[in-house]
Amino acid sequence: MKRYRIRRAGPLRGRLRVPGDKSIGHRALIFAALARGRSTITGLSAGLDNRATAEAFRAMGVGVAIDGSTAVVDGVGLTGLGMPQRVVDCGNSGTTMRLLAGLLSAQRFGTRMVGDASLTRRPMGRVIEPLRARGAHIAGSAPGPNVKAGASSDELYPPISIAPLVEGEQLRGIEYEMPVASAQVKSCLLLSGLYAAGPTAIHEPVLSRDHTERMMIALGVPLATQGSMAVLDPNADWPHGWDPFDWEVPGDPSSAAFLIAAALMVPGSGLQIEGVGANPTRTGFFDALRAMGAPVQTTPKGFAAGDEPIAEHAVAQGAVHGRVVGGELLVRMIDEVPVLCALAAVATGRTEIRDAAELRVKESDRIAVMARALADFGCNVEELPDGLIIEGGATLHAARVRSHGDHRIAMSAALLGMVADGETIVDDVECVETSFPGFAGLLRRLGASVDEEEVAS
């Protein structure tokens, strides 16, 4: 087991790049595996989540060679996947499991997908139910011992079992009104829709991240989008497949958010972060920063990975002011809420986070866990059913924080430790490798005092 030991230090200074966007990395690997020939993906995150997706395709007969941040994938086409020779282990990656559930539900072989203890707590009914509605033979599991008390007995969790479609069977078209905006559910249904007998029409309450749609359109898939609507018609005139490609994965805006927040929090800091993804469905955190008066300058720098905009961010330490964050803005920054909480602790005034109930079913209950962590640091915080109210400006003191196996909790606590009096300990930080490999070492190079230690489990 590993932990962080953190003390005040700084300032943070430097020019850098962050790991590749793992959401885009997952999808690039999927589309490369289904391409007709060899694709090359550069800028891939070295984190464990993208590795889980690569390993899943290896189990299905796809050649995937990864060297550092470059992956060479020998695609087998839409109909070339083989039955896995073993259980597909998705590790900690809910994206891997939910997206592959859609793809594998359309195959003529069976699959069983499992995950680690954290993933086993994450609900899967949101993909299982619409897949069943279109004719998939897919089943989840009842709540197990890892699922928190009070969870619905009707909800379904990993492991997931998928039985094959028999000869003559095909998934049906579906028109689906999503109760909650979710890029994972949307992508799951679009991937299954590639194999369906009729169109797939999806409507979200608000538009979630649209990486899947951008990639499909770039590859010639007959997909039309308008606002929060997406319609895929597999019976349109298209070659039912795509050629291989060379794509670069932009830097992860969620990873960049931690460094930007750290620079805003630590006095005297100044950072420049290159090559960061700037997809409008992912820039909610930066919009929130502007509303809070943060001195962050963003410069567009072109496109990557099909049609993904990229940008450079320059940030210096400066005063930020509390604001209400919710609604459509919250959807576009759902992964960055924990780091916004850390920043809110040093802001002037009150920050109110609403419409974030989805955070209760991430790798941890991020609302409850962040509320406890903030209180441990000496921050005045109120937990709401769908968010938090954080009173900024209190003098923070060192704390000992459990990550609960959640990488974003671990990194957010590390930032709070960098501005707290005394020595902070963050336990169980191996999870950070899922999304931001080398996080502690990078902070040290920039000027922080963040040591990573092995401890007896």
Q: Show which residues are catalytic.
A: 335
Backbone angles phi, psi at 307, to 5 degrees: -145, 40
Q: Can you spell out the DSSP letters for 83-97?
A: --SS-EE-TT-HHHH
Token reading at 379: 């921050």
Contact between 432 and 22 (Cβ < 8 Å) = no
Q: Kindly report the number of other CB atoms within 10 A of residue 85's CB atom.
A: 9
Contacting residues for 455 by C-beta, under 8 A, at least 6 apart: 1, 2, 3, 427
Q: Which tokens go with 106?
A: 């359309």
Q: Which residues partner with 298 through β-bridges?
A: 313
Residue 226 CB partners (closer than 8 Å, separation 6+): none
- In sequence order, the 6+-apart residues with CB closer than 8 A to the CB of 277 are 21, 24, 250, 251, 252, 253, 304, 308, 309, 310, 311
Omega before 250 cis (within 30°)?
no
Q: What is the DSSP letter of 36?
A: S
Of residues 27, 41, 138, the one with CA closest to residue 93: 27
Nearest partner of 252 among 26, 6, 10, judged by Cα: 26
In angstroms, rounded to a whole number, what is the distance separating the alpha carbons of residues 456 and 452? 13
DSSP states of 324-349 as a string?
EE-HHHHHTTGGGHHHHHHHHHHSBS
Q: How many whole angstroms separate alpha carbon 41 and alpha carbon 24?
A: 11
Q: From its phi and psi, is residue 18 left (phi > 0), alpha (psi between -120 and 50) or beta?
A: beta
Instruction: Name the packing angle between helices 253-265 and 337-346 (round to 10°).
Output: 10
Among 363, 312, 294, residue whose Cα is nearest residue 120: 363
E-only strand ranges, 75-163 = 88-89, 111-114, 137-141, 157-163
Tokens found for residue 123: 């609900």
